[in-house]
Structure 1
Amino acid sequence: MELLRLGPIGHEIPVVRDDGVCFDLRPLITDIDPNFFATGGIARVRAALEADELTELDGAAEMRIGAPLTRPSSIVCVGMNYAAHARETGAEPPEHPVIFFKMPSTISGPNDPIELPPYATKADWEVELGVVIGSRTFRAASAEDGLNHVAGYVLGNDLSERRLQIEESGGQWSKGKNLPGFTPLGPWIRPAAEVDPGNLRLRSWVNGEARQDSLTSDLIFSVGEIIHQLSQAMAFEPGDVILTGTPQGVALSGKYPYLADGDVVELELEGLGRHRQVVTITE
């Protein structure tokens, strides 16, 4: 079962895809938003599917694929969560999760263009496993308990502008993470019960050339441990997104050039689909 939102920006239609068929969720829900997750939306959608209560959405195959959720209260990101990536940045693997924040306004669809202002000269890609929170989470008792609060998983690109992040940061990474469209998500959310987050292959390419290729088994802090540790310091709300970190193979390593006008960025995460984004420099 895959949860998607299809249609023009700002007018996306909530959809569930099952066995390749897209069903219109508008008779059942308003949108795939925090209220959807807070009110057991995934279970309601599954029940409607099983009861054959949903109607196929005409023309779904021709529609733009939007981000599969909207209006989370927060996007919390974990940095340097793959040991090899930490090393390529010149840092030691952290003893505790390193975090930064992205604004919900950075969310875009998986195939929307990456629009960069002309001063974004060090834009970088980061393929990541995203976690969607299903219930309010504060002080999770353990890593195992942390997983009980996950609604589903999604592929994300934690785009970064390294000059703003590092050279002009003022000490906070978030400055280089929050340009509009800097969090492409999608194409779908897959329910947590259908995903093993500890053993997924994730990859990225730029202009068809391989950049990243790793497994989530290499995460320093697992999904459950991230939720357990971070929830001691903050409360997650339904619909919030956690990006769990990126593996080695980014431009920050010095091995590859930063993104330029016309570049094509592609990402893939096992079971969670694929992105394709074209870089455009805007005046």
Structure 2
Amino acid sequence: MRFVTFERAGEARLGLLTGGEIADLTAETGAALSLLGLLQAGEGALAEAAGCAAGAPRHPLEGTKLLPVLPRPGKIICLGLNYAEHAAEGGREKPDYPNFFMRGATTLIGHDAPVIRPRVSEQLDFEAELAAVIGRRVPRHVSRADAPSYVAGYACFNDVSVRDYQRRTPQWTIGKNFDATGPFGPAFVTADELPPGATGLHIESRLNGKVMQSANTRDMIFPVDETIMLLAQCLTLEAGDVLVMGTPAGVGFARTPPLWMKAGDTIEIEIEGVGLLSNPVIDEA
């Protein structure tokens, strides 16, 4: 199943992708459906909602404004340096423990929405990433073997980074939390459609059609199952929390000369079996 959050008549609605159309589940049920609400409702809620698609009004996917798949998720926990070659291009050693940092929901935008280059910096960089969405409360100290069962599904993510601000402090938080720098979508793909842990999938970024990053999710240093296990040693993961799993080598800052995104550019993130996330770049007004 592939769910989208979209805007119609000024409100956020939940839809199911069927070919090139969106089945409007909100209109069909008359309820204020959301992906987050369905995840929090527990096992079977996603399938039950999808079962309403047959009689639901349809909207063309093309031309419909898509929102982040989870506009207001719970925790957004990101991993840095989670591909060995990306760590090396930044002059870092392969980490022994994940480099965790947090993003806020106010950074998130949907497919086709503009990434905004801020007035205060020209160092706007792209990062192709896989996002894993937690489907139910993860017990503390969950085993690595059981961890994948707590993932409800996956989406594409672009961890757009303002590099000079990222390096202004020992922690990366500020450079990762500018408004309109977190493209997330276009669709939420349920875990049953992908290999366990979404491993073995090609991941790529393209800037104005030119390939920048090209790798495979099997190259992650800390894959989804191990990441969940390690986080569960420390904190409670809940339905609707998002894990953004790190980026491969090829980002703009590591190039000679550095390659920064600018107004007029288009950045695409594509993950095999998950989807294609595309966003234009504009300057802050």
Under a length normalisation based on structure 1, what TM-score does the superposition of the two structures give? 0.92
- Secondary structure at the aligned position of 2:16 is classed as strand
Q: Which residue matches 1:266?
A: 268
Q: Which residue matches 1:74?
A: 75
Per mean C-alpha deviation after superposition, the further-off stretch among 251-260 and 190-199 is: 251-260
Structure-2 change in CA distance of 1:187 and 1:230 (3 Å):
same
Structure-2 change in CA distance of 1:260 and 1:20 (3 Å):
closer
Within 5 Å, which residues of 2 pair with 1:42-191?
43-47=44-48, 49-50=50-51, 54-166=55-167, 168-169=168-169, 171-191=170-190
Shift of 1:59: 4.3
Structure-2 change in CA distance of 1:6 and 1:51 (3 Å):
closer
Structure-2 change in CA distance of 1:51 and 1:4 (3 Å):
closer
Structure-2 change in CA distance of 1:153 and 1:44 (3 Å):
same
Task: Return the alpha-carbon distance in structure 2 between the equivalents of residues 97 and 240 of structure 1.
Answer: 17
State, as a whole percentage, how many aligned pairs show the same letter.
32
Residue by residue over 1:37-74, the C-alpha shift from the partner in whole angstroms, topping out at 9 and shown as x without a partner, is: 01137x33424545765413244433112211221121
Structure-2 change in CA distance of 1:225 and 1:53 (3 Å):
same
Shift of 1:8: 5.8
- Secondary structure at the aligned position of 1:86 is classed as helix
- Verify the 8 A CA contact 1:25 1:54 in the aligned structure 2: no
Task: Return the alpha-carbon distance in structure 1 between the equivalents of residues 9 and 279 of structure 2.
Answer: 16
Are residues 1:7 and 2:4 paired?
Answer: no
- Verify the 8 A CA contact 2:21 2:60 in the aligned structure 1: no
Task: Return the alpha-carbon distance in structure 1 between the equivalents of residues 10 and 202 of structure 2.
Answer: 32
The aligned amino acid for 1:192 is: A
Task: Return the alpha-carbon distance in structure 2 between the equivalents of residues 89 and 190 of structure 1.
Answer: 32
Within 5 Å, which residues of 2 pair with 1:12-27?
12-26=12-26, 27=28
Within 5 Å, which residues of 2 pair with 1:219-234?
219-234=220-235
Task: Return the alpha-carbon distance in structure 2 between the equivalents of residues 233 and 9 of structure 1.
Answer: 42
Structure-2 change in CA distance of 1:142 and 1:124 (3 Å):
same
Residue by residue over 1:85-111, the C-alpha shift from the partner in whole angstroms, topping out at 9 and shown as x without a partner, is: 000010001001110000011110021
Task: Return the alpha-carbon distance in structure 1 between the equivalents of residues 59 and 212 of structure 2.
Answer: 37
Shift of 1:120: 2.0
The aligned amino acid for 1:204 is: S
- Secondary structure at the aligned position of 2:71 is classed as coil
In structure 1, list runs of 5 or more residues that go unmatched: none
The aligned amino acid for 1:165 is: Q
- Verify the 8 A CA contact 1:155 1:272 in the aligned structure 2: yes
Per mean C-alpha deviation after superposition, the further-off stretch among 100-109 and 253-262 is: 253-262
Q: Which residue matches 1:250?
A: 251
